[in-house]
Amino acid sequence: MAERDSRAYEELDRLIDEGGTTHGGELAGLLATVGTVRESLAVPAPPAESSRIAAALAAAHRQALRLRLLALSLVVIAALVVVGTLGTGEQSSQPTQGGREAAPGSPGGDPGEGGGGGAAGGSGRRGVPSSPSIDGYSAIRGEVLEVLGSDRPGER
Amino acid sequence: MGTSDKQLSTALPLGGRNAAEASSVERSDKALSAEELEETVRRAGRGDEERVSWLFERYHPQVYRYALARLGNAHDAEEVAAEAFTTVLRKVASFRWRGAGFEAWLFKIAANAVVDRHRRRARDPVELREDSGFENRAGGQESDQALLDAERGSELRALLDRLPADQREVLLLRFAGELSADEVGQVMGRKPNAVRQLQFRALEGLRRRMGEEQSGG
The CATH code of the domain that includes B28 is 1.10.1740.10
Whether residue B21 is found in the same domain as residue B97: yes
With 0-12 CB in 10 A as exposed, 13-18 as middle and 19+ as buried, what is A50?
A: buried
Does B118 map to a domain? yes
If one counts every other C-beta atom within 10 angstroms of the C-beta of residue B64, the result is 26
Interface-testing mutation among A34, A57, A62, A72, with chain B (most B C-beta atoms within 10 A): A57
Which residues, 6 or more positions from B111, have their beta carbon under 8 angstroms from its beta carbon?
B169, B187
Residue A120 pLDDT exceeds 70:
no
Does B131 map to a domain? yes
Whether residue B69 is found in the same domain as residue B157: no
Inter-chain touch A10–B196, beta carbons under 8 Å? yes
Which of B46, B86, B156 comes nearest A40 by C-beta?
B156
Size (chain B), residues: 217
pLDDT for B147-164, tens place per residue?
777 777 788 888 999 999
The residue range of the domain holding B66 is 8-135
Inter-chain touch B199–A12, beta carbons under 8 Å? yes
Whether residue B131 is found in the same domain as residue B157: no
Q: Helix or strand or coil: residue A107?
A: coil
Q: Helix or strand or coil: residue A129?
A: strand
Q: Does A58 touch chain B (CB under 8 A)?
A: yes
Phi, psi of A129 (to 5 degrees): -60, 140
Give the model's pLDDT for residue A136: 54
With 0-12 CB in 10 A as exposed, 13-18 as middle and 19+ as buried, what is B166?
A: middle
Whether residue B44 is found in the same domain as residue B91: yes
Interface-testing mutation among B54, B86, B184, B196, with chain A (most A C-beta atoms within 10 A): B196
Domain total of chain B:
2
pLDDT for A31-44, tens place per residue?
999 998 998 888 87
Cα distance between residue A33 and residue A26, in whole Å: 11
CA–chain centroid gap for A145, Å, is 45
Q: Does A103 touch chain B (CB under 8 A)?
A: no
If one counts every other C-beta atom within 10 angstroms of the C-beta of residue B174, the result is 27
Cα distance between residue B34 and residue A142, in whole Å: 78
Whether residue B189 is found in the same domain as residue B85: no
Inter-chain touch A44–B206, beta carbons under 8 Å? no
Low-confidence ranges of chain B (pLDDT < 70): 1-31, 98-100, 125-142, 217
Interface-testing mutation among B25, B28, B48, B56, with chain A (most A C-beta atoms within 10 A): B56
Whether residue B44 is found in the same domain as residue B121: yes
Whether residue B52 is found in the same domain as residue B105: yes
pTM above 0.95, yes or no: no
Average pLDDT over residues A112-131: 44
Q: Which residue of A has its CA nearest to B55?
A: A54
Whether residue B167 is found in the same domain as residue B87: no
Whether residue B103 is found in the same domain as residue B193: no
Cα distance between residue A94 and residue A9, in whole Å: 83
Inter-chain touch A37–B175, beta carbons under 8 Å? yes
Which of A13, A16, A54 comes nearest B57 by C-beta?
A54
Whether residue B109 is found in the same domain as residue B201: no
Does B215 map to a domain? no
Last residue in a domain, options B109, B135, B161: B135
* Arithmetic mean of pLDDT over chain B: 78
The CATH code of the domain that includes B176 is 1.10.10.10
